[in-house]
Amino acid sequence: MKVLIIGGVAGGATAAARLRRLDEQAEIIVFERSGYVSYANCGLPYYIGGVIQEEKKLTLQTPQSFRSRFNIDVRVRSEVTKIDPAVQTVTVHDLANDRFYTESYDKLILSPGARAVVPPLPGADGKRVFTLRTVEDTFRIRDFLEQRKPTRAVVVGGGFVGLEMAENLMARGLDVTLVEQLDQVMPPFDFDMAQEIHAGLRARGLHLRLSTAVTAITDHDTGPVTVSLKNGQSLDCDLVLLAVGVAPDTALAKAAGLELGERGSIVVDEHMRTSQPDIYAVGDAVRIRHRVTGKAGLISLAGPANKQGRIAADHICGLPAVYRGAAGSSVIKLFDMTAAAAGLNEKTAKALGVCYDKALLFSASHAGYYPGGTNMSIKVLFDPESGRILGAQIVGADGVDKRIDVLATAIQAGMTAADLEELDLAYAPPYASAKDPVNMAGYVIENLRMGLVKQYHWHDVAALPRDGSVTMLDVRTDAEYAQGHIEGTVHIPLDQLRARMGELDPAKPLYINCRSGQRSYIACRLLSQYGYDCHNLSGGFRFYEVVTGNPPLDERKTGECGLPL
């Protein structure tokens, strides 16, 4: 059997190695148009920033190591320009020698990945304008930084690459402005959770220009690069990084007559076969099924690509491997913060008409009495009828990655909030609390579902009547209240509430808040047992202030922890 693989990064390299482990006799050839294979695409920004210092650390394998360990023929600087499914051949352009030749196949695996989108802007092709997708891109940027010593940079785009590059350019001493045409960075996150990210980024010195687009780039030969914005302003800098997203690189598949789907993605079945049974496709270029909704879509992440490469290889070798989709689990380091998401966010749930509710928590990364703990903002979407977990987003510092992985597992397994309550998670004071934040999410959701508490959200506050028909109650301490509060609130500290509840009219609905939602929950439980109609502010005043006021300083290292629900 002869198998050709087009693309030698995550999906293609994984498929090649798996094929060899399953079939020692197969002839396997990998074509890669760049000069490198099996490289750590996600590590490229960190090489530019100096976190990864050795160039060889970026490449997990080389053509020579593939040959010596796996007896696989890897041909770099080799671009496949045509696929002919009728006769099962490909045409290859040997870029190093500028010659063309054909190669036949029994099975073909497409792993072309995605290409960096370059918007049609005047000046986007300037010498000091860069994109980051390949190892060669990385070397160009790092060489420019070391030779030209720039001091100012503009990053266009607030996704993974844009934010990681902003951080790493700042690590090299550059003053960085990030421009994003949306009103938030990180599209996998909802607007409210993105506000947590914005506050942290600004506190660490990144200049954010949101809700504006770049209209032109002017590269003055002897002066600065000028980035013109849609709002009429302009930014001068020494280099521009375009990171506005990626698109499936499927021109080859389209020319071969393969069936395409959303945004030109390659349609595949559960075995990663395309509309041509002897051609498989994996990675960023393929359309897959979302694990929560069952809908087709694109998820451009390394984890799914590697799994798909393995499944394609298994199926070629006769194993009954099936790919069941992905939930988009992702995590990003942002200075000393971590932001992570899995499953559905509110934007997607609303767009698809999914019935959901949400819970917000502010939980400690480990036991509050053990030094060094930090707090995490956690948002969980769930089905209000069944309690099934639909999605999660977390912003914090320590322990975010651990909790999102547990929640991603729960999402994939179809677990409910009641299941989260019962999870037996590892506990020791340096690592967690006896009631882990994941358990706490289950408790909060089940309290809501059982009717033990009703909630309202930050976006409901402005619409609450100020005509005296409802009572807005703040149960924080005197000092906390004096530092800032929601206009129109009555102030009674929680520890005085039993003695002073006579000051509240039981005929009026109560909308209660504290700092994080924990004390106000206790107040709701207390007052509801005396006949009051109580609503708890999800996420508390702290989250309300972040979303509506965007406080400039990060305050994760303070606050209440560990109160029982």
Q: 10 Å Cβ neighbour count for 136?
A: 11
* Element of type H or E holding 198: helix 191-203
Helix, strand, or coil here: 109? strand
Single out the residue of 214, 216, 215, 236 nearest to residue 225, CA to CA: 236
Single out the residue of 361, 364, 440 nearest to residue 399, CA to CA: 364
The tally of CA atoms less than 13 A away on the side-chain side of residue 529 is 7
**CA–CA separation, 305 vs 11, rounded Å?**
5
> Which residues are registered as beta bridge partners of 52?
none
Per-residue buried b or exposed e for 178-205, using 16+ beta carbons within 10 Å of the residue's own CB? bbbbbebbbbbbbebbbbbbbbbbbeee
Residues in the chain: 565
Outline where 23-125 has alpha helix (H): 44-48, 63-70
**CA–CA separation, 524 vs 532, rounded Å?**
8
- Of 42, 317, 355, 514, catalytic: 42
Is the Cα dihedral 178, 182, 185, 187 positive or negative?
A: negative
Tokens of 92: 């290859």
**CA–CA separation, 441 vs 429, rounded Å?**
19
**CA–CA separation, 349 vs 358, rounded Å?**
11
Residue 229's alpha-carbon distances to 33, 154, 162, in angstroms, are: 35, 12, 17
Encode 488-557 in three state secondary structure.
CCEECCHHHHHHHHHHCCCCCCEEEECCCCHHHHHHHHHHHCCCCCEEEECCHHHHHHHHHHCCCCCCCC
- In the 8-state DSSP scheme, what is residue 561? -
Examine the residue annotation and report whether 42 is marked as an active-site residue of this protein: yes
Helix, strand, or coil here: 136? helix
Tokens of 311: 């499944």
Q: 10 Å Cβ neighbour count for 550?
A: 13
In angstroms, what is the C-alpha Rg of the chain? 27
- Identity of the amino acid at 370: Y
**CA–CA separation, 518 vs 378, rounded Å?**
14
> What are the catalytic residues?
42
